[in-house]
Amino acid sequence: MLTHNNHCIKFYSQLLKNRYRLLAKQKESEVKQSSWQAFTGGKGKKRVKGTLKGLRKVSIFKSPELGGKVGVVGSGQGTTAYDSKKRYKLNSGLPD
């Protein structure tokens, strides 16, 4: 009779241990879930410096006129005009 009680005690102790482990895992999962939800929910979206999100109202895939390039911002404008390149001659410091 004593051995049967020992087996019952061992069985119930394992059962309690497994339930405790399961509850601990569930609690850890809830903590992680609430942490993730707090991270994704946030107090509001912060604007990242340097981005143009929200400023562009026209699709970049719309060509403004004939001959315009699709996907190029400011495609209706011409190219930038630069001065022609000039060679710089250094005086050697010697009299002519």
Dump the DSSP string for 15-78: HHHHHHHHHHHHHHHHHHHHHHHHHHH-SSPPPPTT--TTT--S-TT---STTPPTT-TTTTS-
| pLDDT, tens digit, 9 for 90 and up, residues 20-58 | 999 999 999 999 999 998 888 866 666 666 666 666 566
Which residues have CB under 8 Å from 71's CB, separation 6+? 60, 61
Answering whether pTM is above 0.85, one says no
Q: pLDDT band for 7, please (50, 70, 90 cuts).
A: confident
Provide, rounded to the nearest whole percent, the portion of the chain with pLDDT above 90. 22
> What average pLDDT does the structure give for the chain?
75
For residue 47, the model assigns a pLDDT of 64
